[in-house]
Every structure is written in structure tokens, then in C-alpha cells.
Amino acid sequence: MSDLLKRLTEARGVSGNEDQVRQLILEEVTPLVDEVRVDNMGSIIAFKKGVKSDKKVMLCAHMDEVGFIITRIDDNGMLKFAPVGSIDPRILPSKRVKIGDKAIPGVLGIKAIHLQEPSERETAAKAKQMYIDIGAKNREEAERLVKPGDYAVFDSECVYFGDSKVKSKALDDRVGCAVLIESLKGSYPFDLYACFTVQEEVGLRGAKVAAYSIQPDIALVVEGTTCSDVPGVEPHRYSTRMGEGPAISIADLTSYSNKKLVSLLIECAEKADIPFQIKESVSGGNDAGEIQRARGGTMTAVVSVPCRYIHSPSSVADLNDINNTLRLVQEFLKGCEAL
């Protein structure tokens, strides 16, 4: 799992430009399934024929990640950019990025502290004022390496640390992708569609069309979700807690989870002695929002791996939570047939 997760999180895949991570996932899933295809949006739909029934179960994890798109090259060779997906601009100063298919290195610099007024240090940096420096002398030199429309990702190595923690970019939602890939190693009585969606971070767009084409009876979304259990936050606003197992969603801003599926998830966890938690906030949203409303409606549920410092180059998750999420998904799939 840890090796797979490293490869998944280090692959580039900003919403709208998921090529590299898509290629990696295709290579991983092809030997495990009966059929695999890439749909019109670029999502991967991996199909595993059921041994008994015609029931259709969809597992969904998004492969895209937040990042940047280059909007303009200035005369001085600096690149202007816009965020793709939601990124707190306050994390941007003094970070490294990789731009385009050739992964050209660049930095998000900030004027030296010596040149700042004291008030500047108290004010959050704005993405609009910032730029990416690739070391180019001028526009011509920069244009040889990058062009407007190129995507950029955080340059962040996947590091295992602490007592079972992983730090990387894009844990949201490569943790889900890893869980799906591992789940495909099992065999199931029903038809299983493992769907690795694109463009979740810009509005759940890949899931909408994938769910339409699959028409599942049941869908389970596997996510990486906010974990705010850090100092300065009141415990009732933690949302999820690191190390306490997969978080089961009751509702968020995009969907209500189906009660039968939630009960099944809880029952499975309790029976198999898998630690779990109920996600304590209703903020945010994920692919379940679109899957639930596809065609005539689908039963959906969401389990998530808690991720601290989400949407940053240094998001952190607990490997035990990831493994327990995988176990819960496997138990859930076993229980699905009876529904």
C-alpha cells in the first residue's frame, strides 16, 4: 500500500490535466479487471464481472488534485497563474511547483522580509499578487519552456514519518484511488465498477457523467476529507480525527448518504472490529453529490480517510486509517449483495 500510495501521490493530475495519474492507474488496474475504459471526460471506469448477480455496485474515488494553471508570461519571464480548485492562498509563499508535462521546476517566491513593511507581514498574501519564477531571464526564455494553459502541481515528495503517518500532496483523493485499486484484487458476486473520476475539485464534473453511463444500483465514494483536529480548533469543529478510523458521512453540502448504506457500513465496521468515526461536519462535498442525482437517482454513501492540512503540498494522513478504510470497503462490498 505504501509504495502504491507514493507513486499515486507523486503523479501529476491537476483537474483538467489528469494524464500522468490516469496512465499510472490504468497500468495498475488493467491486470485486475475484466474491462477498462476511459470515458469522454477522461475518467477511468474499471469493470469486474460479478460471479453471481447482475447488481451494479460503483466504487468512486477522484484522481484529480488541486493545483495551478499558467495564465500569462510577463516580459520579465515571470509566470502569472490561477489556482485550479480551492487552495488557501496563505500556504503559497515559498513553495516549489512543477509546470507542464516536462515538470519544469519553479518557485512561488515572496519579497524578502528585509524589504517588507511590518504591516505586510501581518497581511495574507494574495494569489493574484504572486507569480512563479522558473529562473527565466525574460519572456522569450520562459516561452521556450512553458506556455499559458500549462498546469502546475506542488513539488512535494511523499514521505512516511512519525508512527504511521504519510505526508504528501494530493492525498485528497489518491488515498481513495489506492483503496479502490486494492479492492479490485478481490472477487465479488455482483458487477463492480471502480471509477476513478476527473475534475472533482472543480465541481464533481467527472462523476456526473460516469454515474450516468454506469447507472449503478449502489455507489460508495471513497474520499480524503478534512481533518481539523489541530490546536486552535474547538473539538466540536474537528470534523474528523486522525487515527480514529474511516469517517462515515451522514450528510454534507452535496448529498445525504442513504440510511441503509450508512447502517450497513456501521454494522460491517462493528462486526469486523474496524475502528470508525462519523464525520462531524456537514461542510464540503464530493462526487456522491452528482452520483446520487444521476438518472433516476442512486443510493450513495461516503467513507473518508481523515487528512490534515488538506489541499496543501504537505497534507498528512495515517496509514492505519487508510488500511482500515480499505478493510471497511471490503466488508461493505461483502454485505452489499444482501441489500
Partner 1 sequence: MDAKKFLGQLIEVPGVSGYEDQVSKLIMDTFEPYCDEVYRDDFFNVYGKKLGNKSGKGPKIMLAAHLDEIGLMVKDIDDRGFITFTNIGGVDQRILLSQEVYIHGKERLFGVIGAKPPHLQERNEARKAVPMKEMVIDVGLPAERVKELVTIGDLITFKSPLVELTGSNVCGKSIDDRAGVVMMYETMKELDKLVFSGEIYFVATAQEEVGTRGAIISTYKINPDIGIAIDVTHGDTPDASRDDTHAMDKGPAIGVGPNMHPKLTKKLMDVAKEYGIDYQVEVAPGLTGTDARSMQISREGVPTVLIELPLRYMHTTVETLNLDNVKKAARLVAQFIASMEEGWEECLTY
Residue of 7, 38, 39, 93 that binds partner 1 (CB under 8 A)? 93
Considering only residues 193 through 232, tell me which ones interact with partner 1, judged by CB under 8 A. 226, 228, 230-232
C-beta of residue 83 within 8 angstroms of C-beta of residue 201? no
Q: Of 43-51, 137-145, 206-214, 250-258, which part binds partner 1 (CB under 8 A)? A: 137-145
Q: Of 106-114, 179-187, 198-206, 207-215, which part binds partner 1 (CB under 8 A)? A: 106-114
Based on CB atoms, which residue is closest to partner 1, 102 or 271? 102
Give the nearest distance from C-beta 245 to partner 1 in angstroms. Answer: 17
The amino acid occupying position 27 is E
Bridge partners of residue 9, in order along the sequence = none
DSSP 211: H
Q: Give the burial string for 301-339 (b: 16+ CB within 10 Å, else e).
A: bbbbbbbbbbbbbebbbbbbbbbbbbbbbbbbbeebeee
Residue of 1, 4, 33, 133 that binds partner 1 (CB under 8 A)? 133
Measured between alpha carbons, how far is 18 from 64 in angstroms, rounded to an integer?
6
Kindly name the residue from 65, 200, 223, 290 that is annotated as catalytic.
200
Residue of 7, 55, 139, 165 that binds partner 1 (CB under 8 A)? 165
Residue of 81, 188, 309, 332 that binds partner 1 (CB under 8 A)? 309
Based on CB atoms, which residue is closest to partner 1, 16 or 106? 106
135-141 own/partner pairs: CB under 8 Å, 24+ apart: 135/106, 136/77, 136/78, 137/77, 138/75, 138/76, 138/77, 139/73, 139/74, 139/75, 139/76, 139/77, 141/77
Based on CB atoms, which residue is closest to partner 1, 157 or 267? 157
Measured between alpha carbons, how far is 187 from 179 in angstroms, rounded to an integer?
15
Tell which phi-psi region holds residue 193, choosing left (phi > 0), alpha (psi between -120 and 50) or beta.
beta
Based on CB atoms, which residue is closest to partner 1, 24 or 73? 73
The amino acid occupying position 193 is Y
C-beta of residue 62 within 8 angstroms of C-beta of residue 22? no
Based on CB atoms, which residue is closest to partner 1, 97 or 265? 97
Do the strands 159-161 and 35-38 form a parallel or antiparallel pair, or are they unpaired?
A: unpaired
Contact between 312 and partner 1 by CB under 8 A: the answer reads yes
Give the nearest distance from C-beta 93 to partner 1 in angstroms. Answer: 5
Active site residue 157: no
Residue of 40, 114, 117, 338 that binds partner 1 (CB under 8 A)? 114
Contact between 91 and partner 1 by CB under 8 A: the answer reads yes
Using CB under 8 A as the criterion, which residues of the chain lie in contact with partner 1 when the complex forms?
74, 76, 78, 88, 90-91, 93-96, 104-116, 121-125, 129, 131, 133-137, 141-142, 145, 155, 159, 161-165, 167, 226, 228, 230-233, 237, 283-284, 308-310, 312-314, 316, 318
Q: What residues act catalytically? A: 200
